Amino acid sequence: MQWLVAVAQFIVNEILSIPAYMVGLITAVGLIALRRSVGQVVGGGIKAVLGFLLIGAGADLVVAALDPLGVMIQGAAGAQGVVPTNEAIVAIAQDRFGAQVAWIMIAGFALSLVLARFTPLHYVFLTGHHTLFMATLLTMVLATTDLPTVVTVALGAVLLAVVMVSLPALAQPWTRRVGGDGKIAIGHFGTLGYVAAGATGQLVGRTSRSTEEMKLPEGLRFLRDSMVATALSMVLIYLVVALVYWARQGTAAALDMFEPAQGLDPTIGHFLMQSVMQGLQFGIGVAVILYGVRTILGELVPAFQGIAERIVPGAVPALDAPIVFPFAQNAVLIGFISSFVGGLATLAVMALAINPAFGLALILPGLVPHFFTGGAAGVYGNATGGRRGAVAGAFVNGVLITLLPALLLGVLGDFGSANTTFGDADFGWFGMAIGYAFRAGDGIGVVLALVLAVVLLAAAIVVQKRVVERGWDPGARHEAALAERAEREEK
């Protein structure tokens, strides 16, 4: 059996957990189904891989630029607590449950394709690293029970497959409103935050104009370039945080933040200029991500026509959160900042009231999840509620990804005492639902978990048939109100 485990781990660790390979293979399969030439298949597959690698390169730049900012914010605010980082908690769990995670991921992915083929939910979840994260979460939660390994893998695979096809369907009315004409879906386990942001936009932003129509004075027209606006905004944020960090932690701590070139002594000038450079690097990272998204969409969407025609009729690719960034680039930055403010506000409430009363851990707002999920939430909020929707919707997302990880710690067994946890909203609510189902016992827990899967799948099918396929538009009232307002202003 060892060789079977080795093969499974190779497929998971070297292929399925790497989105670039998965998307490249899927693109090649789609082009083959369209009977394209060998050159077009190879070229399209490689271009799709390169597009995803560009997204990864941009993400690495963003993460590298955010790391020192996170340290300075902790130093400036004096907060200590749990930092939600998906990669960190998954790496810790892999040492103990690597084989089970592998089998759940492989079986779950295969079962999700079966569901996509034989149910109305024709969504193919292509965000491989999030599939790995969810498989790991399910393994960790089920590891707190006394279930046999075979049952754990089978149940985990069923649960994983159901969320992979159901959540893109539940978010699809809002995703279609964002853009893409329904040819793409969101395949990211921050779906609760995106739906909440879209619904919040509907509530608060009926007559609010889009973030992409912000009018700027003539002297500030250079800010219409989203790359310039993003970089400048982050430079200002970096400088403000750096000055507060210097004031609170002292000159010695500030000099230790950024190592100078060999042979030079650290100075405060170097500290401030490195802060400026980190802000600029952030802007470059976002620009690279947007270019990668456009590259991948140019290859993947046509290839999916082949898959839709031959393998999974009507297949819709469910892709990572940055896929919505090009549709409202100003909303991404607004959403990131609003989500982070929401995280800080929730942290303050937890520190002052919830932690003393219930002992919940304090979740520090991680800049990386707030950028990616907050930015996407800003896009969803803007699509249904303009500027007010982007701000309020992303704020709600910030609250969710600060509160839910704290509650999730209670069902992670001895991993609950680790200084990190899963960061995105769906890991929180779905992990808690499964974990608390098993508080009633293993047998009842299995039944409740399967009932949850059936209910989630049925709800997604109802939404698909009665909402998505009938063309319900969550931004219709917003659009009508804006048209009415424009007509009044013309008179």
Per-residue pLDDT tens over the stretch 306-343? 666 677 788 888 988 888 988 998 898 899 889 989 99
Asked which of 14-23, 166-175, 388-397 is least confident by mean pLDDT, the reply is 14-23
For 383-397, how does the pLDDT look when each residue is reduced to its tens digit (9 = 90+)?
999 999 999 999 999
Asked which of 67-81, 164-178, 324-338, 456-470 is least confident by mean pLDDT, the reply is 67-81
Q: Give the confidence band of 186 by pLDDT, cuts at 50, 70, 90.
A: very high
Residue 364 has pLDDT above 90, yes or no: no
Residue 169 has pLDDT above 90, yes or no: yes
The burial class, CB within 10 Å (0-12 / 13-18 / 19+), for 343 is: buried
Asked which of 51-60, 160-169, 212-221, 271-280 is least confident by mean pLDDT, the reply is 212-221
Mean local confidence (pLDDT), 250-254: 87
d(CA 139, CA 280): 40
Mean local confidence (pLDDT), 368-377: 88
What is the share, in percent, of the chain residues with pLDDT greater than 70? Answer: 89
Mean pLDDT (the chain) is 84
The larger pLDDT score, comparing residue 57 to residue 155, is at: 155
For 262-308, how does the pLDDT look when each residue is reduced to its tens digit (9 = 90+)?
777 788 888 999 989 988 888 888 788 778 767 766 776 667 666 66
| 468 close to 169: Cβ distance less than 8 angstroms | yes
Find the length of the chain: 491
pLDDT for the residue numbered 488: 79
The larger pLDDT score, comparing residue 218 to residue 51, is at: 51
pLDDT for the residue numbered 79: 59
Q: Give the confidence band of 105 by pLDDT, cuts at 50, 70, 90.
A: confident
pLDDT for the residue numbered 295: 77
| Mean pLDDT comparison of 117-121, 283-287, 410-414, highest-scoring range | 117-121
- Angle 335-194-48 from CA coordinates, rounded to 5°: 90
What is the share, in percent, of the chain residues with pLDDT greater than 90? Answer: 32
Residue 224 has pLDDT above 60, yes or no: no
Sorted by sequence, the CB contacts under 8 Å of residue 410 that are 6+ apart come out as 416, 432, 435
Residue 171 has pLDDT above 90, yes or no: yes
**Nearest by Cα to 380 from 325, 317, 428:** 325
- Both tokens of 98, joined, read 């690597």
Residue 17 has pLDDT above 70, yes or no: no
d(CA 299, CA 441): 48
Sorted by sequence, the CB contacts under 8 Å of residue 398 that are 6+ apart come out as 338, 339, 340, 341, 342, 343, 344, 345, 346, 365, 370, 374
What kind and span of H or E run contains 436?
A: helix 425-437
Residue 26 has pLDDT above 80, yes or no: no
pLDDT for the residue numbered 461: 96
- Both tokens of 369, joined, read 């999840």
Instruction: Output the pTM of the full model.
Output: 0.79
- Other CB atoms within 10 A of residue 105 CB: 28
d(CA 320, CA 372): 10
d(CA 134, CA 88): 14
pLDDT for the residue numbered 162: 97
**Nearest by Cα to 279 from 258, 309, 252:** 258
For 476-485, how does the pLDDT look when each residue is reduced to its tens digit (9 = 90+)?
888 888 888 8
Asked which of 97-101, 199-203, 444-448 is least confident by mean pLDDT, the reply is 97-101
Q: Helices H, strands E: what count in the chain?
A: 16, 5
| 244 close to 76: Cβ distance less than 8 angstroms | yes
